[in-house]
Each structure stands twice: as structure tokens, then as C-alpha cells.
Amino acid sequence: MTSEIVFEESLAPSLDGVEEFSHIIVVFWMHRVPAMKHPAGKIHPQGRADLPLVGIFATRTPYRPNPLGVSTVRLVERKGNVLKVLGLDVIDGTPVIDIKPYIPPLDSPSPVKVPDWVKKLR
């Protein structure tokens, strides 16, 4: 799915050079997630009882003390203060807090390790 990230006009010069990257990292505020007085300390990932009970910081749940989202997306094009991207899974109007260029190997460490339950999510 193609999305547009629209920056204030005054920030257009701050985007200079970003079009040279194939991917960017988008940091956003999950503004539609209901506020929780006390976020759960542990959950079953994706609410699945067949998966172990783990701390929220070991999951991608949106129910967090600070509902920040991070997504690596393909940068299709830049036109002035607008970035067209592919793969940004957010609700229209979601506030974008920051973007960063995706730079391997900084953003793709190797080797990586994940728990066995993560494989069950796919």
C-alpha cells in the first residue's frame, strides 16, 4: 500500500538528500490506541493463549506506556515536502514524529536471535 507523509512546508529543506535512500525508518505516534492508566506488564503476544506470557517490551503490542510505532518502509519518491512510501501500516492522519534513513549494516545487525514463539506468528 502506498502512503504519503506530508511535512510542513518549512521542513522541506530538511528532507534534501533523503530521496537518495531506498528505505526510511518512520517513527510515529499511535494516536488512536486507547490510553491505559496502567499498561499490562505482561501479555500473550497478539492475545494468543498458545504463546507464552511475556513482558510488553518483548512484543509489538500497541498498548505501551508511550505508544510509539516504528516502521521501515520503501521510499518511492519525494516531491517537495511530501514523501511517497510503500509499506507504512498506519491509520490516515497518524502523527509522524521523525524519519531516519535506513543504513545497513547499522539498521540490519547480524546475527540475530528471536524466541521460538515468534516463528508461530508467521
pLDDT for the residue 93: 94
pLDDT for the residue 21: 98
pLDDT for the residue 19: 97
Tens-place pLDDT, residues 89-119: 999 999 999 999 999 989 999 999 999 999 8
pLDDT for the residue 37: 64
Domains of the chain are 2-119 (2.40.30.70)
Whole-structure pTM value? 0.87
Q: Which residue has the higher pLDDT, 21 or 62?
A: 21
Long-range contacts (CB closer than 8 Å, 24 or more residues apart) made by 45-48: 45/117, 45/118, 45/121, 46/121, 48/120
Distance of alpha carbon 69 from the chain centroid: 4
Mention every residue, 6+ apart, whose C-beta is less than 8 A from residue 8. 81
